[in-house]
Amino acid sequence: MKLKIATIIALAFLSLGLRAQSLSLSQTTIAMAVDGHIDYGDILVTNTTGNDLVVKVRQEPILTVADEKLQICWGGLCFNWQANAYTYATPAAIDGMADYDGLAIAFQPNSAVSGSIWRVCFFVDGNPDDEVCLEVAFGTVGVSETEKPVATLGDASPNPALQFTMVPFAGNDGNASLLVRNLMGQEVFKTALPAGDGRFKLDLSGFENGVYFYSLVSGTEVVFTKRLLVGQ
């Protein structure tokens, strides 16, 4: 009986070990201007195990408009621009307990509109469930001196939030809306914002716990996007 119990316990620990996360990131979320990019060494991918690992990367669009693309450099290669979910075949070798600084990401915005969120995930080759992901939000296209400034979006507070959060905005000419989408990019809320400056009280009582993205939409253009966590 003792041998049987010991065997069950050993198998349980083995099962936990197989599901253990082998990778970590120096950052899991990052926001930047639409013309920004992630250079080599900005994001470190760490092998948290004592074993050498072969690691691949994939990308997934969360909130994009037509013609927005990413270019990822990984495993010593810079690949072609991709606009959809894509897994790159070339892996990177990461030694045990070592950092890998060979990631770079460039963003190609739409010429007319901007505002894009991508998930970039790193996983152990042969075990796609053993992964860690980075969420990258690209902001707004700069406005030229001859163009009329667009409204701006502040940081929601509180964030994380449970029942409600206040979303600041400024410079609304009466043409701006607040859009909220879930992690899958599905619209869960949208409303017109009052003209001028103010704060909108966003009721979260009907929201499930999780990650959301709130955007300021001017006309038909997404000009700002930020991250909101609902739940503790």
- Per-residue HEC secondary structure of the chain comes to CHHHHHHHHHHHHHHHHHHCCCEEECCCEEEECCCCEECCCCCCEEECCCCCEEEEEEEEEEECCCCCEEEEEECCEECCCECCCEECCCCEEECCCCEECCCEEEEECCCCCCCEEEEEEEEECCEEEEEEEEEEEECCCCCCCCCCCCCEECCCECCCECCEEEEEEEEECCCEEEEEEECCCCEEEEEECCCEEEEEEEECCCCCCEEEEEEEEECCEEEEEEEEEECC
Same domain, 134 and 56: yes
Same domain, 28 and 119: yes
Same domain, 63 and 126: yes
Residues 168-192, mean pLDDT to the nearest whole number: 87
Same domain, 115 and 30: yes
The predicted structure's pLDDT at residue 111:
65
Let me know if residue 97 belongs to a domain.
Answer: yes
Same domain, 164 and 89: no
Top pLDDT among 2 and 62 is at: 62
**CA–CA dist 58, 75 (Å, integer):** 12
Nearest to 100 by CA among 20, 25, 50: 25
Same domain, 117 and 24: yes
* 48: CATH: 2.60.40.10
Q: Is 174 exposed, middle or buried (0-12, 13-18, 19+ CB in 10 A)?
A: exposed
pLDDT band at 13 (very low <50, low <70, confident <90, very high): very low
Whether 146 and 152 have beta carbons less than 8 Å apart is answered as no
* Residue where one domain finishes, among candidates 107, 138, 169: 138
Residues 168-193, mean pLDDT to the nearest whole number: 87
What are the C-alpha distances in Å from 109 to residues 86, 117, 182? 18, 11, 21
In what side-by-side order are the strands of the sheet with 37-38?
37-38, 104-108, 69-74, 77-78
Least confident of 31-35, 71-75, 98-102, 123-127: 31-35
Let me know if residue 193 belongs to a domain.
Answer: yes
* Residue where one domain finishes, among candidates 98, 114, 138: 138
Percent of the chain at pLDDT > 90 equals 43
Let me know if residue 2 belongs to a domain.
Answer: no
**CA–CA dist 225, 220 (Å, integer):** 14
Let me know if residue 3 belongs to a domain.
Answer: no
Q: Using one digit for the tens of pLDDT, what is the confidence trace for 95-135?
A: 999 999 999 999 988 765 566 888 899 999 999 889 999 88
Same domain, 124 and 163: no
Let me know if residue 171 belongs to a domain.
Answer: yes
The predicted structure's pLDDT at residue 112:
59
Q: Assign 3-class secondary structure to 18-49.
A: HHCCCEEECCCEEEECCCCEECCCCCCEEECC
Let me know if residue 146 belongs to a domain.
Answer: no
Same domain, 164 and 126: no
The predicted structure's pLDDT at residue 183:
73
Same domain, 117 and 187: no
Q: Is the pLDDT of residue 33 over 90?
A: no
* 216: CATH: 2.60.40.1930
pLDDT band at 54 (very low <50, low <70, confident <90, very high): very high
Same domain, 120 and 201: no
Domain count, the chain: 2
* Residue where one domain finishes, among candidates 84, 108, 138: 138
The predicted structure's pLDDT at residue 8:
36
Q: Is the pLDDT of residue 214 over 60?
A: yes
Let me know if residue 186 belongs to a domain.
Answer: yes
Q: Tell me the pairing of strands 176-182 and 210-218.
A: antiparallel
Q: What is the mean pLDDT of the chain?
A: 81
Whether 134 and 152 have beta carbons less than 8 Å apart is answered as no
Same domain, 73 and 108: yes
Domain of 203, in residue numbers: 152-230
pTM for the whole structure: 0.58
Same domain, 132 and 156: no
The predicted structure's pLDDT at residue 17:
39
Let me know if residue 92 belongs to a domain.
Answer: yes
Top pLDDT among 53 and 228 is at: 53
